[in-house]
Amino acid sequence: MWTWYDSTLIKIEQQTPTTWRFWLEIADIDSFDFRPGQFITMDLPIHERRRKRWRSYSIASRPEGSNVIELCIAYYEGGLASEYLFKKIKVGDQIKFKGPDGVFCLPKDIENDLVFICTGTGLAPFRSMILDFAAEQKLQQNIHLIFGTRHESFILYREEFEQLAAEQPNFDYTVVLSREEHWKGRTGYVHQVYEELYPDKPNTHFYLCGWQYMVDEARQRLEKMGFDDNQVFFELYG
């Protein structure tokens, strides 16, 4: 059963030209408990009908025993929620939300290598998972984060993941850009990366998060590569 919470927006930070980070401090509790990969649903003052006011966003921070959570939200022109969050809301404003909810989470015991494939703010649940692994020193199996976007300026949490990849031998980080002419790294789309690196690793588990067309195509490609449904997990947004 969902619980409703009152929170205060305590910080806003622009991450990319189209994506901002939002921090919420939750009232009347010392710690907000959730599992990495879960989301909350905010009730925003953008419509008279309740259901049209609700917007769900994955938690981008890890559970760290505090009453502050971080969200990573992209702007979509003309969207009621986007117009409110990016043009009207300010630090100190109140936001009511319910949650946490969602089952896009890792099992307690992990025996397989993990590949996280995402586009845009589909990175948010994976950031929560990866930060939790790193903080709890649970990076025992191999984890590969494959992040796709259009331009270099749209890369989310770049320095953070580059540093983690340099420090953690079991963590790999690959960025794929589809519309950047002078990018020295991977170009094209995320699919070419996992198809190239994992054709002969049958025990790998794949987690997908992003736009439906990316997720659908990845599921089809992974099936052709011989991976079963119990090896592929996904979350859609948009």
| pLDDT exceeds cutoff 80 at 5 | yes
Virtual torsion, Cα 98, 105, 124, 52, nearest 10 deg = -30
Q: Rounded to whole angstroms, how far apart are CA atoms 142 and 60?
A: 21
101, β-bridge pairs = 39
Alpha carbon distance 214, 189 (integer Å): 9
pLDDT at 236: 82
Between 5-14, 76-85, 131-140, the lowest mean confidence (pLDDT) is in 131-140
Give the model's pLDDT for residue 109. Answer: 84
Q: How far is CA 88 from CA 12, 22, 128, in A?
A: 12, 14, 27
Instruction: Report CA-CA distances (Å) from 36 to 52, 94, 151, 185.
Output: 26, 24, 27, 29
**Whether residue 138 has pLDDT greater than 80:** no
Ramachandran angles phi, psi of 199, nearest 5°: -70, -25
Report the C-alpha gap between 61 and 24 in whole angstroms: 11
Q: How far apart (Å, rounded) are the C-alpha atoms in residues 177 and 190?
A: 9
- Supply the pLDDT for residue 238: 47
pLDDT, average across residues 72-100? 96
Domains and CATH numbers, the chain: 3-101 (2.40.30.10), 114-236 (3.40.50.80)
Two tokens, residue 96: 């009511």
What percent of the chain lies above the pLDDT cut of 70?
Answer: 98
Q: Is the pLDDT of residue 16 over 70?
A: yes
Predicted confidence (pLDDT) at residue 49 exceeds the cutoff of 90 = yes
pLDDT digits (tens, 9 = 90+) for 21-31: 999 999 999 99
Whole-number pLDDT of residue 42: 98
Give SS3 for 219.
Answer: helix
Average pLDDT over residues 101-110: 92
> Over 138-170, what HEC string results?
CCCCCEEEEEEECCHHHCCCHHHHHHHHHHCCC
The answer, yes or no, to whether residue 139 has pLDDT greater than 70, is no
pTM: predicted TM-score of the whole model, two decimal places: 0.95
The answer to whether the CB of 109 falls within 8 A of the CB of 143 is no
The per-residue pLDDT for range 171-191, each reduced to its tens digit, is 999 999 999 988 999 999 999
Nearest to 148, CA basis, from 181, 191, 113, 110: 191
d(CA 216, CA 36): 23
* Degrees to nearest 5, angle at CA 135 with 133 and 138: 40
Tokens of 109: 């015991």
- Which has the closest alpha carbon to 217: 178, 188, 187, 191? 191
